[in-house]
């Protein structure tokens, strides 16, 4: 493009948009799409298990009966039948909710963006864990918060560090990933969930509980969601992306009615409503028990993949490396000795046809150079063995 046009476009950008950056992960995924690359980089479900036949059947069965509604504009809040189903599902988990507490969103990612829009003023302190979900940082950076952080261990966020941040001054909210954290793979213990709620109460703030992975538990007992412990102080998010398919872009929010009203207004401006067609299809799959059966199948497949990854790490990784043991979800987190640079390793991995996400991407503050995220859901067992072997050999040369 000629320079005068380029200048016109660049000088027209809003101050806000100067904060926009493209997602490191999306950039990385570009290089991992070649079939020879074993990629542990994306957060992708296993595509070979998408319930294609069941979705096709649902379309064939629903369009003749309900096509006029499915293809029409709908309410911002979402399709009533699906809201009803979700509020009942949430009640079964012990989450106190009515259909009026539920909003269907275009994936949980939209929920994060709407929360940013509705709550974050420039300079607000927002508490996130180190590391945290990259997509939340990306969504919220636009609104100009200051990210303040707390560390994590095997039982989730470290409460004393959360309290230190709270003592330093007011925060707008705490962003928590209760189950099988992305990227760290760890789960917040019940004890710590209770403490978080007590702290929210003491310091008069609220918690965003982002739970895309809770249903994908491979061992142990479910832990009470934070929202159950204090529904007045929690906005809960979940999604069909990991349990059904991300291409549908369908997620939901559970929140107090007063809060939800503002979020609904923000959603109206963003996209009027989430696709009606997809909501009817998903509702059908939910009502006929197809989703439940599908999740049961995924749990078996992903558990095996997780186990193969853990065994391969034991076998091929150098003894200096440490990693988390996820009881569910899609990821585990590797920590290498201080001084190792996983961005440099990523470049080396490209040459060896193996990919992961360098940990730096998951920190708001330039930390985590010696860490990496590995995804195990998207790669069949034999390829997991092969990829971890390649990575292990690279690491042994490096360390
Ligand atoms: C913690 C977390 N929140 C939100 C999302 C966004 O999911 P969705 O596909 O529902 O937008 C993801 C996706 O990986 C995630 O890991």
CA 182 – ligand 1 centroid, Å = 9
Residues in contact with ligand 1 by the CB-under-6-Å rule are: 43, 107-109, 133, 135, 177, 182, 210, 212, 239, 241, 246, 251
Among candidates 353, 373, 376, which has minimal Cα distance to 298? Answer: 376
Task: Give residue 18's pLDDT.
Answer: 83
Given a cut of 90, whether residue 30 has pLDDT beyond it is: no
Closest atom, ligand 1, to C-alpha of 112: 4
| Whether 66 contacts 214, CB under 8 Å | no
**CA of 240, closest atom in ligand 1:** 10
Cα–Cα distance, 135 to 133 (Å, whole number): 6
- Summarised one tens digit per residue, pLDDT across range 342-366 is 999 999 998 999 999 999 999 998 8
Which has more confidence, 158 or 17?
158
pLDDT digits over 32-90, tens only? 778 899 999 989 999 999 999 999 999 999 999 999 999 999 999 999 999 999 999 99
CATH code of 13-51+292-398, in short, is: 3.90.1150.10
pLDDT in tens, 206-239: 999 999 999 999 999 999 999 999 999 999 999 9
Instruction: Label residue 273 by pLDDT band (50, 70, 90).
Output: very high
Cα(316) to ligand 1 centroid in Å equals 30
pLDDT at 281 over 80: yes
Q: Please list the residue range(s) of the chain that carry CATH number 3.40.640.10.
A: 53-290
Domain 53-290 sits in CATH at 3.40.640.10
Mutation pick for ligand 1 pocket among 24, 129, 239 (CB with most ligand atoms within 8 Å): 239
CA 199 to centroid of ligand 1, rounded, Å: 26
* pLDDT tens string 90-111: 998 888 899 999 999 999 999 9
Summarize the confidence of residues 267-287 as an average pLDDT.
98
Pairing mode, strands 331-335 and 371-375: antiparallel
Contacts by 24-31, CB closer than 8 A, 24 or more apart: 24/134, 24/357, 24/358, 24/361, 25/134, 25/357, 25/361, 28/346, 28/355, 28/357, 31/350, 31/355
Tokens of 354: 């193996």
The pLDDT of residue 229 is 96
**What's the pLDDT score for residue 19?**
83
Substitution site in 43, 44, 109 for ligand 1 pocket (most atoms within 8 Å of beta carbon): 109
The confidence score (pLDDT) of residue 32 equals 74
The average confidence (pLDDT) of the chain is 95
Ligand 1: which residue has its CA nearest to atom 14? 43
Residues 173-177 have a mean pLDDT of 98
Determine the atom of ligand 1 nearest the C-alpha atom of 106: 11
Contacts of 225 (CB under 8 A, 6+ apart): 93, 94, 95, 178, 193, 209, 211, 214, 236
- Tell me the sheet residues that pair with 226: none
Radius of gyration of the chain (CA): 21
Give CATH 3.90.1150.10 domain extents, the chain. Answer: 13-51+292-398
């Amino acid at each position: 493009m000629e320079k005068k046009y380029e200048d016109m476009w660049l000088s027209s950008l809003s101050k806000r948009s100067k904060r926009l950056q493209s997602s490191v992960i999306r950039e990385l995924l570009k290089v991992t799409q070649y079939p020879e690359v074993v990629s542990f980089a994306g957060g992708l479900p296993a595509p070979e298990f998408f319930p294609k036949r069941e979705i096709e059947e649902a379309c064939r069965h629903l369009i003749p009966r309900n096509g006029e509604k499915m293809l029409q504009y709908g309410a911002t809040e979402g399709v009533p039948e699906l809201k009803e189903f979700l509020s009942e599902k949430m009640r079964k988990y012990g989450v106190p909710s009515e259909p009026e507490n539920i909003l269907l969103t275009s994936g949980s990612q939209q929920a994060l963006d709407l929360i940013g829009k509705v709550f974050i003023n420039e300079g607000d302190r927002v508490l996130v864990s180190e590391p945290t979900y990259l997509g939340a940082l990306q969504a919220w950076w636009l609104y100009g918060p200051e990210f303040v952080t707390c560390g994590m261990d095997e039982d989730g966020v470290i409460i004393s560090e959360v309290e230190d941040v709270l003592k330093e001054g007011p925060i707008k909210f705490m962003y928590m990933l209760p189950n099988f954290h992305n990227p760290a793979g760890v789960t917040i213990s019940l004890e710590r969930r209770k403490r978080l709620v007590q702290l929210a109460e003491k310091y008069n703030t609220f918690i965003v509980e982002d739970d895309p992975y809770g249903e994908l538990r491979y061992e142990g007992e479910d832990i009470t969601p934070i929202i159950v412990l204090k529904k007045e102080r929690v906005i809960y998010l979940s999604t069909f992306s990991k349990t059904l398919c991300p291409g549908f872009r369908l997620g939901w929010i559970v929140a107090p009615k007063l809060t939800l009203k503002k979020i609904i207004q923000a959603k109206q401006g963003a996209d009027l409503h989430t696709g009606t067609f997809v909501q009817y299809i998903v509702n059908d799959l939910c009502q006929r028990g197809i989703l439940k059966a599908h999740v049961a199948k995924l749990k078996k497949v992903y558990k095996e993949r997780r186990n193969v990854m853990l065994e391969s790490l034991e076998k091929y990784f150098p003894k200096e490396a440490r990693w988390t043991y996820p009881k569910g979800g899609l990821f585990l987190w590797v920590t290498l000795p201080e001084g190792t640079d996983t961005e440099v390793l990523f470049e080396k991995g490209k040459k060896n046809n193996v990919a992961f996400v360098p940990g730096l991407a998951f920190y708001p503050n330039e930390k985590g150079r010696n860490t990496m995220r590995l995804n195990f859901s998207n790669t069949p067992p034999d390829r997991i063995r092969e990829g971890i072997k390649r990575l292990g050999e690279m690491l042994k040369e490096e360390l």
